[in-house]
Structure 1
Amino acid sequence: MSNTRNTPQAQDSRNRRSRDERHHEPRESRNPERKEERVADDRPSPMEVLRNARAQFAELTGKAAESVSSFEQTEDGWALEVEVLELPRVPDTMSLMAGYQVDLDPQGQLTGYRRVRRYERGRADSHRPGGR
């Protein structure tokens, strides 16, 4: 049993409070479909580039990026390395993963990709600093 009354006056009060809270939200949160802010020269922001790169890569390869392990701006645009699930296995730690190098132009359009490594999900990188 509840001690709260569900009268029309109580409902009006709750609705007014909810409306007032929405009115005081930052403009960005009230408009989830707003465009990402652009950096100088109308270039896409890094987050915009990253989101678009993941979507373009997935569309081209049919593989969704599980993570992005590197992301940097280059003289020619952008470069990132994405990790994808190549072959699911049981147990999951035996699944085959792959790292792809993805190149983008300055506007964030994918210009190329290539697989740079394959490994089992449960394995750590084998190369150590300074040699073997």
Structure 2
Amino acid sequence: MPRQPPEASPAASQAASQAARRAVGHVTGMTGRDAEGVVGVQRRDDGGWRVTVEVVETHRIPGSADILAVYETDLDADGELVAFHRTRRYPRGRVDRP
């Protein structure tokens, strides 16, 4: 029988949500762009976080023609930005293919 992953503790969930909020603040502050949302959160071995944030790079009319981007951020254990970079850009509504 496959082993199930342990349930996240409330403290870990809280820390992840705080890291996500901090990452959004860092990305929007650095880029001046509007965040669409957090699309990934991962605890790093050093106690920090890797948070992936989706932002609107270019607003267009209609909104379905907006250009979105994904930024990957690394935060230290205190939530301070260590690194960030854009990993991709794409039109809104574009679906990744396997």
TM-score, structure 2 normalization: 0.78
**By how many angstroms is 1:46 displaced?**
2.0
Q: Which residue of 2 aligns with 1:46?
A: 16
Q: Which residue of 2 aligns with 1:116?
A: 87
- Count the aligned residue pairs: 86
Structure having the larger proportion of residues in strand: 2
1:99 aligns with 2:70: yes
Which segments of 5 or more consecutive residues in structure 2 lack a partner in the other structure? Answer: 1-10
1:87 aligns with 2:58: yes
RMSD: 1.8
Which segments of 5 or more consecutive residues in structure 1 lack a partner in the other structure? Answer: 1-38
Q: What is the one-letter code of the residue matched to 2:95?
A: A
Q: What is the one-letter code of the residue matched to 1:58?
A: T
Kindly report structure 1 stretches of 4+ aligned residues shifted beyond 6 Å.
Answer: none
1:60 aligns with 2:33: no
For the residue of structure 1 that corresponds to 2:40, the secondary structure is: strand
TM-score, structure 1 normalization: 0.59
